Amino acid sequence: MREDLLNILSDSNKEIDNQKLMDYISGKLSAEQKHEVEKWMVDNPFFSEAMEGLQHAGGEKKLRSSVDEINSALRKYLQSRKKKREKNFFKNDYWTYIAVIFILALAVLVYLFLHRLKA
**What's the whole-number average pLDDT of the chain?**
77
Question: Tens of pLDDT along 3-59?
Answer: 555 555 554 555 566 677 777 777 788 888 888 888 888 887 777 777 777 777 666
Q: 25: closest CA among 9, 12, 44?
A: 9
Q: Hey, where are the domains in the chain?
A: 2-91
Q: How far is CA 67 from the centre of its chain?
A: 16
Written as one string, the DSSP assignment of 78-117 is: HHHHHHHHHHHHT---HHHHHHHHHHHHHHHHHHHHHHHH
Its pTM stands at 0.38
State residue 111's pLDDT score: 94
Q: Is residue 115 scored above 80 in pLDDT?
A: yes
